[in-house]
Structure formats: C-alpha cells, structure tokens
Structure 1
Amino acid sequence: MNDTAVRILVPTGMLGAGFPPETVERGLALGADVIAIDGGSTDSGPHYLGSGTPKTTRAAVAADMRILLNAAARSSIPLIVGSCGTAGTDSGVDWVAGITADIIAEDGLDLAVAAVYSEQDPDHLSGRLAAGAIRPLPPMGDLRPDTLRECTHIVGMMGHEPIEAALRGGADVVLAGRATDTALAAAYPLMHGMPPGPTWHAAKIVECGGQSTTDPRSGGVFATVDHHGFTIEPLDPAVSCTPNSVAAHMLYETADPFRMREPAGTLDVTAATYRAVDDRTVRVEGSVFEPAEQHTIKLEGARLSGYETMSFSAIRDPHLLAGIEDWAALLHEVLTDRVGRTLGLDPADYAVDIRLYGHNAVLQERDPATGPAREVGVMLLVRASDQATATAVAKVANPLMLHLPTADMDYLPSLAFPFSPAETERGPAYEFVLNHTVDAESPTALFRTEYRKATADA
C-alpha cells in the first residue's frame, strides 16, 4: 500500500453466500490492501437477534472464511468481518471466531485475531435513558426502561472506530459484532488518511459486493480510494460497473439517496459525479462527509413476543376464489367462535394472521392487481404465550381450512394441505422493539475488544 490510495477487496455481499475463488485471486493480483465482508444484517427479521443464532450454516461460513483467511495470510493484508453471526450478538462473534480458530489451526496460518463485541448492558442503557441520551428513530416512540429489560439481546451498531482500533492494536483479522455495513470497508482507508467523503461513498457502493455491477451473481467488487475520489470495478472480468449501476446503489436501503447517516456524521453525495473510465470501471468524485457534533450509536433490540404455529392450505375452487377475501373473513369469524367454545380462550389470549398467497399476501390492500386468482395458498399463523396454546388453536382451524364452505354453497369444498401433520410449530417468535440512538461518550466506549493470537501451535 502507498499513501496515495487504498484498495479494498469485497468478495461478496454476505459471508456464507459464496463467491468464485478466482475472483479473490484477481483482487489480490490487483493489489488489494484489505479484504472486507459483511456477516449479517437485520434484513431477515428479529429471530436471529432475539435468539442469538446465525442465519447461515457453519459449512458455508467456513468455506468462505477458509478462502479469505488464506488470502489474507498469503498477501499479508487484514481481513475485516462485520455483524458476525447475522445479528452481531456476542454469541455470533464467538461462533465466527471459533470457525476462524479451527481454520487457522488446520491450515497452519499465523494470524492475530481481534473480536469486537457490540452487545449492550441494559442497566447501562437505562442510565443513559434517564440522562436523556437515548432518542427514538422513526417510527418508534419514546423508550420505556421496561423495554430494555425485556430484550433478549441488544446490540449497538458500531462505526469504523472500534475496527480501526483493533487494526492499530495488531489484529490481522477483525471479527466485529453489529456494525454498519459501510464501516467494514471504510475503516482501513480512513486509518491510512484517505478523505472521509470518497471513503464512505466507496464503502456504501461496495457493501453488497456485486450488487453495484451488471451481474450481482458474479461475486464481488474492487474499489480504489484516493484523495480525490474512488474507482470501482467488478472482480469478475466478464462483468461491468456502469455509472448507472454504481449511482443506483445509493437508492438501496437508504431513506435519502443523497444523504446517509453514519455514527460519526453524514455522507452527502449530492454533488457526486459518476464517469465511465472504460467499459467496466467507474470513477466517482465530489462526495463529502459532514462530521456530527455528537457521535451516536444505533441500538437494535428484540424481545420474545410469543410462540407460533403455522398451517397452510391451498384453494383451487373457483367459487371460493371469486370471493376469497369474504372466505378469509369467514374463516377468522368461525375460528374465533370455535376456539372460544372448545378451548375457552378469549381473542386476547392469542393472535391469528391469515395470509392469502397468490392474492394479496405480500402487498395486501395496496396490491394493484385485480381479478380472481387461479389458485391461492392460505397461510394461518397463530401466536400465543405458549406453544401448546398456539398449536391447539391451529388444530381447531384444521377442519375449517380443509372444508369451510361459504353460506351460498350447497356442498363442502375440498381444500389441500401440502403437509401431514398440517400444523408446524415454529417455536419462539421475536419482535424488534429498539430502533433508537444513544449518545456515545466516545466512538469506542460501548464496545469491547479481545485479542487472540490464533496460530497452528495454539
């Protein structure tokens, strides 16, 4: 690496998603200074944070990590992984750290590993709440102290600073808890004096690997950040980055396509220009970063909301399909009555969600499609305070989801269960209850780092 530019290799959008090994080799040949890869997000819902378990399988994560650890060791460049274990819980960091230690030992690598933990102490946050240092993000309201205690896990979303501190502490591999996707790619360039505007903008564009290219399935991207801007190209030589594909990524997962908040401030790309260098490389200039007066950390928390049982049936009867919403309302009405009579439960004791797949299950009343569907799948999801109650309600629904006629039918329709038994116990269900920011005393104060010299002799 030199003082004029930093080169970032991002092999794919998420650890465990897989990537062609040859694209990593190409990134190394191009002179990569750092490898950065995201390990998770909240995209897949609250279960992974609430339960502290990963979305990805160990084998897939290990396959990716083996390639990346060997590449980092061979080229003497750091490897940074963020949001380990999907949600960035302490158990997620330890899970990826265990996989990493096994690979280092098996492959005879000599690498120093730093684990950066992001789980938060509810008691400490209660004190910060009392001090007025925690504020809601839309659409959340003011935070109650009880909500903090109800969370099974709370994580703080770190910026680049804890990662940079781990690198300065001698880490070859940084395994971070919950972090902004951009912090992983921004840490090393910022550490080496690259300007924050181009650095944060480049980090945003590379966060999801090949998504900013003409073929998102091709693998990752390679960005070079300098003192005036950055260039980006795909790792697959058969794929291209175009001004449109690069600029469009500022629309992805942002409330404002021109301004994006980070813990340390706000990226502003209003004046950014996107120019094709050749048929597969794009040059970006004009991005600026506005430092915040107060460093803030976003809090994410999930709590147990009950236990769920699911049942699924399919309707092909044209008469029912012609009035499918009326049939669904009838199912809910009759089910409520029968649960009350047979189980003695009040509607407040459980919740029922009926989704009509093939009709409006995704967009519901906002769906612009009109006309009857050819077939509809009916998903019944029951949630209660315990698994037995949720399953009992679903079992009461069983004959209704098989033969419930409307009032104008003189026959029993036959619907179709794809599974036997028809009820599937989904276990504990979680819900997000924290979407707040907390003022940080320092960028690293809410995070803890452990250094481990993991070698083949360890």
Structure 2
Amino acid sequence: MDNERVDQVKVLAPTGMLGAGFPEATVERGLALGADVISVDAGSTDSGPYYLGASRPKTTRAAVARDLRVLLKAAASAGIPLIVGSCGTSGTDAGVDWVAEIVAGIQAEEKLSLRVARIYSEQDAGTLAERLDEGRVHPLPPLGELRPETLESCTHIVGVMGHEPIVAALEAGAQVVLAGRATDTAIAAAYPLMKGMPAGPSWHAAKIIECGGQCTSDPRAGGVLATVDAGGFTIEPLDPAVSCTPILVAAHMLYETVNPYEMREPDGTLDVRDAAYTALDERRVRVEGSRFHVADQHTIKLEGARVTGYETMSFSAIRDPHILEHIDEWAELMHTVLRQRVEQTIGLSDDKYAVDLRLYGHNAILGDLDPASGPPREVGVMLLVSAPDQATATAVAKIANPLMLHLPTPDMDYLPSLAFPSSPAETERGPAYEFVLHHVVDTVTPTEMFRTEIEEPPHHG
C-alpha cells in the first residue's frame, strides 16, 4: 500500500453494521465524491455476551454477503482499501475466518483479485495469566482485580485493537483488511492516520461516522463521507436528500461514551472540549479544534465471556381482567407456588436454580420506574429458568407449565385459562453467558497481542 502523505483523506462509512444493509447508490456516490477508503464495523457487544461466548455471528450470512459484495466491487473499481472491523460480531478468530470465507466466495464469483489480510484478536488465557503475574493487567471500574481462574473460565477472550495492526496490514500490501475485535473508531481512523492526518480530527471523525448515517437527518438512508485534513474534518451524507447539522454531528459524541468530551483509545484520549461545529451549508458540517492526547502507556482492553448456566423459557398471555387488576399479587403467588412445587416434585431448593418472571405490558422494561397507573389491558408472561444444566432448567419450567396456564389469584374460586402461543410451551435456550472481563493489558508494542495473515490475491483464468 502506497504510504505517500496527502493533504486530505476521505473515509466512506456505508453503514453502522455490516449486514444491516444500505442503498447501493450511496456507495456509488461516495466513490464519485472521491472516497479514499471504505470502513465498516461488523461487530458489537450491544446484543450481549452470547455472541462472544459461543463465537457465533448475530448477522445472517446472506446479509453480510450482500453488503460485502457491494463494498468489495466498489473497492476494486476505485482501487481503494476496504477495512472491516470486529468480524463475526465479537471478533473471535472464527468470526474473522467466517467473513474471510464469504469474501473468498465473492472474489471467485465476481472475478476480483484483492489481497486480503486477516487480523486475529483472540487471546490465550494462559498467556494472559502470565501478563497478570507480571502486573500488566488492570481492572476497569466497576470490576476488581482479575483472578487467573476467571481467565480460564472464559470460552473466548478477545483483545480490542486500535488502529496500529490495521495500519501495519495496509502497509504490508493488504487491499482488504478483516480485523478481529477492534474499537469502532479504529477502523475509520486507521487510514487517515497512516496518511499523516492529525490524530485529533482523525479520531473525532471516526467517532462521528462509526454508526454510518446515525449522525444524519435520516439514519436509514445510507452512510456518510468524512473528509479529514490538517485543520479538522467535514461530514457529508451520501444520500443527497439527507442532511447533517451541527447538533446531529456533535450529539454523536454522547453515544456510548462515559464523558461527552473525551474518548479513550488504546494509544491515548480524544479531547473535543474545544471542538467547533459549523454548518457549511444545509447538508455538510465542518468540525475543527479536536485534540488527541497520547497516553504514557499503550493498553489493550479485554473482553471475555463464560457459561453461567442453561436456560429454558416459557411464555403465556393473560387477558383475564380480574388477574390483570391484581397482576403483582398473581406474580408473587407464581413465585411462591412454583418454589413450593419444585421442592415437592424434584426436591430442589431455590438456591439451585433461578426464575425470572417478566410481565410484558405491565412493568417488564421499566420495573418500579414505570409511570403507568391502572391495570394493563393484556400481559405477556415470560418465565426464564436458569440452572446449572439444561435438564434441570427444563424440569422447573415444566413444573411451572400448569401454573402458567391456570394459576388463579388468591381470591378466585375458579381456574382461569391463560394462553400459550406455542406448543411445546417450553423452549430450551441452551447455555447462557456473561461478560466477566473488563480489564486492560499494558503492551510493549501496539501490535504484539494480534496476529496477521496476508493472503496472495486470487488469480482468475
């Protein structure tokens, strides 16, 4: 990859999530506007620990392939790199390989010859335990000191890379970079930083475009183009009918940040206290004044998940007006009777399993904070049983079955009939996971925790 310094770099962000879809015309417009690189995020922890713990993608293969086909053809036609971060949702090695397999298939079908780099971010628990012994692993609030057995309990651990491994892959000649777990911003900041753009504008622009069109007047209409230069950056939507405004652009610094003025990256901290947001016209916004403070110690954040048990779910629906008028009493009775019947039936005390009863339509989302008053019109009852093994979780859910169908309130002299939406009523959800790592590792070099493989481009006869 030519590493010649330039006056500006244009980063095309087509969408906030690979597989979420975008209008192909917006990518074409981004190329027409002179895009120098395409960056797209493919992962998140927003959907919980399952995807890391099980190393499974949350996106369907067909959706990822559709988006990649458009982006690979665009990158090839324009002769610009494509950077994909956090492949396979969680950035595990299997996730990187899954996306790489899709890319290989598309290259064969479209007769493309792009050189692909895979950057692996999965970490070995034993190696991390050595780093822990050396005093190089530190907790982030609210977690405390890490114990070696916590590392060993994880099914998968990833390190969240910054821009440096991506830049190294580009400098080694990669035209497509498929990165494991990476900060959402690193994938967009990497190319501008490699081309000599200042860190403040590069990281700030990357933050604003990490979610594609989220910073525009219509997030569904496609992505954005960020032009980074020595003095700042400019944001422009790729749909001509959509606008960016200073408020929309500035507001994205509130998204997923502890401090709206700062954002930590592996090599330092973005500082936007002095940033000024100016409307160039009704569609474009100019941002200047962003700064970046390089940290004394480069760190890599760890994410890890482990199995906490197994779950079985049951769902019922209540329309009976008397039960709905006393729905909290009914829920309390459900807990009491179920606990008694489980102990009577299988001799299991309630410290050997857990029951989560959620009343959708009443207070399942806000709980006691729900401002609604009066009885609900209808309620969906979700029973989630967690136990050390699947058989126990299902046994408890089956004991709950007649209660989910016929449990009356204490003052009723008849058995009501509630409604199961499916048969069987119990659904085994399999292993449940939890995040257990929120720690950083002090690194000697920014790339030491990551492994890169670059494949020669395919040749088509």
Distance in 2 (CA, whole Å) between partners of 1:112 and 1:308 is: 43
Partner SS, residue 348 of structure 1: coil
Question: In the alignment, which of 395, 406, 421 is matched to residue 424 of structure 2?
Answer: 421
Shift of 1:139: 1.8
Letter in 1 for 2:139: P
Distance in 2 (CA, whole Å) between partners of 1:366 and 1:248 is: 26
Shift of 1:237: 0.5
- Is the Cα–Cα contact under 8 Å of residues 358 and 364 in structure 2 kept in the other structure? yes
Distance in 1 (CA, whole Å) between partners of 2:51 and 2:37 is: 28
Deviations 1:407-452 (A, max 9, x none): 1112212211111111111111111111111111111010000001
Distance in 2 (CA, whole Å) between partners of 1:320 and 1:262 is: 52
Partner SS, residue 290 of structure 1: strand
Distance in 1 (CA, whole Å) between partners of 2:388 and 2:217 is: 47
Distance in 1 (CA, whole Å) between partners of 2:232 and 2:59 is: 35
- Is the Cα–Cα contact under 8 Å of residues 106 and 456 in structure 1 kept in the other structure? no
- Is the Cα–Cα contact under 8 Å of residues 10 and 207 in structure 1 kept in the other structure? yes
- Contiguous gaps of at least 5 residues in structure 1: none
Deviations 1:299-325 (A, max 9, x none): 000001111110001111222222212
Q: Which residue is equivalent to 1:340?
A: 343
Is residue 80 of structure 1 aligned with residue 88 of structure 2?
no
* Aligned-CA RMSD value: 1.1
Partner SS, residue 259 of structure 2: coil
Is residue 288 of structure 1 aligned with residue 291 of structure 2?
yes
- Is the Cα–Cα contact under 8 Å of residues 39 and 86 in structure 1 kept in the other structure? yes
Q: Which residue is equivalent to 1:394?
A: 397
Q: Which residue is equivalent to 1:204?
A: 207
Distance in 2 (CA, whole Å) between partners of 1:189 and 1:102 is: 29
Shift of 1:27: 0.2
Shift of 1:454: 3.4
Question: In the alignment, which of 86, 94, 97 is matched to residue 97 of structure 2?
Answer: 94
Is residue 278 of structure 1 aligned with residue 281 of structure 2?
yes
Which range is displaced more, 306-315 or 132-141? Answer: 132-141
Distance in 1 (CA, whole Å) between partners of 2:404 and 2:432 is: 23
Is residue 259 of structure 1 aligned with residue 278 of structure 2?
no
TM-score (norm 2): 0.98
Partner SS, residue 32 of structure 1: coil
Letter in 1 for 2:20: A
Partner SS, residue 289 of structure 1: strand
Deviations 1:174-215 (A, max 9, x none): 000000000000000000100000000000000000000000
Q: Which residue is equivalent to 1:385?
A: 388
Distance in 2 (CA, whole Å) between partners of 1:188 and 1:344 is: 62
Distance in 1 (CA, whole Å) between partners of 2:374 and 2:252 is: 35
Is residue 187 of structure 1 aligned with residue 196 of structure 2?
no
Q: Which runs of 4+ in 1 moved over 3 A?
A: none
Letter in 2 for 1:409: M
Partner SS, residue 127 of structure 1: helix
Question: In the alignment, which of 352, 361, 366 is matched to residue 363 of structure 1?
Answer: 366
Partner SS, residue 181 of structure 1: coil
Distance in 2 (CA, whole Å) between partners of 1:172 and 1:439 is: 30
- Match runs of 1:28-427 below 5 Å: 28-427=31-430
Letter in 2 for 1:332: H
Which range is displaced more, 93-102 or 315-324? Answer: 315-324
Distance in 2 (CA, whole Å) between partners of 1:342 and 1:457 is: 66
Is residue 10 of structure 1 aligned with residue 9 of structure 2?
no
- Is the Cα–Cα contact under 8 Å of residues 105 and 454 in structure 1 kept in the other structure? no
Percent identity of the aligned residues?
Answer: 71
- Is the Cα–Cα contact under 8 Å of residues 138 and 440 in structure 2 kept in the other structure? yes
Letter in 1 for 2:32: A
Shift of 1:2: 6.8
Q: Does the C-alpha gap of structure 1 residues 197 and 116 become closer, same or farther in structure 2, counting only changes over 3 Å?
A: same
Letter in 1 for 2:451: R
Deviations 1:82-137 (A, max 9, x none): 00000000000000000001111111111100000000010111011112211111
Letter in 1 for 2:341: R
Distance in 2 (CA, whole Å) between partners of 1:432 and 1:313 is: 30
Deviations 1:236-283 (A, max 9, x none): 011000111101111111111111111111101111111100010000
Q: Which residue is equivalent to 1:436?
A: 439
Partner SS, residue 93 of structure 1: helix
Shift of 1:366: 2.6
Distance in 2 (CA, whole Å) between partners of 1:195 and 1:418 is: 57
- Is the Cα–Cα contact under 8 Å of residues 39 and 187 in structure 2 kept in the other structure? yes
Letter in 2 for 1:278: D
- Is the Cα–Cα contact under 8 Å of residues 10 and 227 in structure 2 kept in the other structure? yes
Letter in 2 for 1:418: P
Question: In the alignment, which of 17, 20, 24 is matched to residue 21 of structure 1?
Answer: 24
Partner SS, residue 393 of structure 1: helix
Shift of 1:370: 2.8
Deviations 1:312-364 (A, max 9, x none): 01111222222212211110111011011101112122111111111111121
Letter in 1 for 2:416: P
What count of residue pairs does the alignment treat as equivalent? 458
Shift of 1:365: 2.1
Distance in 1 (CA, whole Å) between partners of 2:222 and 2:5 is: 26
Distance in 2 (CA, whole Å) between partners of 1:404 and 1:311 is: 15
